[in-house]
Chains A and B, each alone.
Chain A
Amino acid sequence: MPDNNRGVFSLIIINKAGGLIYQREFQSGLRQLSTNDYLVLAGTFHGVHAITRSITPKIPISQPAPSPATSSPSTTAPAPSSYSYPNPGVPVSGLDYLETDKFRLTCFQTLTGTKFLLFTDPLTGNVDTIIQKIYELYADFVMKNPFYQIEMPVRCEAFDRHLGAWLRGRT
């Protein structure tokens, strides 16, 4: 993809309480929302993300074949606790991406609940790698910065610099 750089529009970071802590465009001249709209966007997305987690369908565990010896009387009545997510090995993630004809919104949630939203062109490939790198830069230049207060807006000059330089360097 020679046009990767053009493909990345902007980045939003949302803290675990749903507050906007970082917002940045990677192309000049993009139409901007007002600060308030960004805050609303972050809050709304946070809510939608939580909803998508909670509406993940659960299927009853049907006590299959492995225990035929003990399960003779109570085969048809599953206990109320024995629901499970489909594919139990994979944790429930919530909304991973939104896609329209014009853009794609990819969401990456860290273990601590911080969410990275990346707006890209739908044709952009390797979005996962881009987000991983952004996460790495965040871990380095935000979390290791003694002046950064956790859950507060990110104002780290070194993060901005490295992020910009890395995205520029990809093309």
Chain B
Amino acid sequence: MSYYFTILSPTDTPLFNIAFGTSKGGGDGIARFRFPETAQYMNQFIIHSSLDILEEAQWTNGGMYLKHIDTYPPAAAYITAFLTPSGARFLLLHQPPNLPSSTGTGSGLGSSSLLGTAGSTTRASSSSIAANPTSPQTEEAVRQFMNEVYENYVKTAMSPFYKQGMEIKSPVFRTRVTAAGRKWL
């Protein structure tokens, strides 16, 4: 599984982003997106396209962790959202690995649009989090990840040198998020 994590300000300005891969089930923590040449901007595009749905969910669900909110089938990208009370959005895009055993790229993508039935379930035995982006285990793992990032985000926000809406440049924050990713995802 490959991940792309972004923090957006309440006015949709990107504050932080990071790409990483799974560390579970022998993963090496390096992101391998299905379309590496376009991933750089497509990931951001996909994440931003889910904002409308997020803003709808924001006023019907009072929780901070909004779980899986959007799917972008062509890239098999699943978006999970976490909203801080002050309106910052934590968005995690996850993309299950492209299976070499699947029957060709085109149809493989088609099947995963039905919330990952054919391809994903075969891998589910090897590591439950890695393969199935909508399973309860994944949801729980992402919740833990989000909570840990939230804690560090609050610490960032409490810094007198940080102003709401500023890009988070702290290298310590980045290592903390990387560590959280390694721990939970």
Query: Touch between A and B in complex, CB under 8 Å?
Result: no
B residues adjacent to A (C-beta < 8 A): none
